[in-house]
Amino acid sequence: MKKVHTDAAAALDGLLFDGMTIAAGGFGLCGIPENLIAAIRDSGVKDLTIVSNNAGVDGFGLGMLLTTRQVRKMVSSYVGENKEFERQYLGGELEIEFNPQGTLAERLRAGGAGIAGFYTRTGVGTLVAEGKPHAEFDGETYVLERGIVADLAIVKAWKGDRSGNLIYRKTSRNFNPPVATAGRVTVAEVEEIVDEGAIDGDAVHTPGVYVQRLIQATFEKRIEQRTVRPAEAAQGSAS
């Protein structure tokens, strides 16, 4: 199977449809598949359910899909950096399924491992657990969470080979590995594509068996929150 495609639009060709569920890797703006997100926006596909730790920021990352009203539902754990997200949610225009961050990661991992559901103590006694089955183990109450399997998974890696084996770099190795396993089809964008055999098998984070399509891309890599000191304060601390 030829996995390497010329660009994001080509890699997504034939995979997108209205009402689908897309799992997206990344944490904040770190390690997000920004080129694939832009191509999804440009495709015009709508009524999407997006599974991601967060929803990017206004006008960038997954925030672009909120701006164009292509998202019907977000399954997330943190949404605090996106004013458009807040506006749509408070206005009843966007459905949200909140998950504790560890629970969301485990739901993705479980889906990729073929596990239909698992019990966790996290969220018991809160709104997160309402309407979900409960069970007692060793005197403690647990809530049942379902594994997540998405129609499409999109991830960003540092390096990949032509067979789709992926290596993530530093903080990008956050939600990308479980997301990559949770898609019926997984598309990855990487900074560098190398030949088969160039990546040591022990260094692979996501085996190529999980990745169906792959592109090499360039990245803007925005900073989500930039915090600086006044010039005089910085000068004083250095003297």
List, for residues 124-161, the tens digit of each pLDDT value. Answer: 999 999 999 999 999 999 999 999 999 999 999 999 99
Look-up: residue for tokens 């540092």? 158
Is 111 a domain residue? yes
Instruction: Give the model confidence (pLDDT) of 183-217 as tens digits.
Output: 999 999 999 999 999 999 999 999 999 999 999 99
Q: Has residue 138 been placed in a domain? A: no
Residue 101 counted as domain residue: yes
110 falls within a domain: yes
Token pair, residue 198, equals 């160039």
Compute CA 2 distance to the chain's CA centroid, rounded to the nearest angstrom: 24
The CA distance from 22 to 3, in Å, is: 19
b/e burial code for range 180-215 (CB count within 10 A of at least 16 → b): bbbbebbbbbbbebeeeeebeeeebbbebebbbbbb
CATH for 188: 3.40.1080.10
Does the pLDDT of residue 237 top 70, yes or no?
Answer: no
Residue 126 located in a structural domain:
no
Q: Does the pLDDT at position 64 exceed 70?
A: yes
Q: Is residue 197 part of a domain?
A: yes
Residue 165 sits in which domain range? Answer: 8-116+147-216
The verdict on residue 86 lying in a domain is yes
Helix (H), strand (E), coil (C) string for the chain? CCCECCCHHHHHCCCCCCCCEEEECCECCECCCHHHHHHHHHHCCCCEEEECCCCCECCECCHHHHHCCCEEEEEECCCCCCHHHHHHHHCCCCEEEECCHHHHHHHHHHHHCCCCEEEECCCCCCHHHCCCCEEEECCEEEEEEECCCECEEEEEEEEEECCCCEECCHHHCCCHHHHHHCECCEEEEEEEEECCCCCCHHHCCECHHHCCEEEECCCCCCCCCCCCCCHHHHHHHHC
pLDDT tens column, 7-60: 999 999 999 999 999 999 998 888 999 999 999 999 999 999 999 999 888 889
Please report the pLDDT score of residue 29 as a whole number.
Answer: 87
Strands 140-146 and 134-137: antiparallel
Decide if 59 is inside a domain.
Answer: yes
Confidence of residue 79 (pLDDT cuts 50, 70, 90): confident
Give the whole-angstrom CA distance, residue 107 versus residue 54: 15
Q: Decide: pTM greater than 0.85.
A: yes
Counting the structural domains of the chain, the total is 1
Closest CA to 127 of 148, 150, 96: 96
Residue 159 β-bridge partners: 167, 192
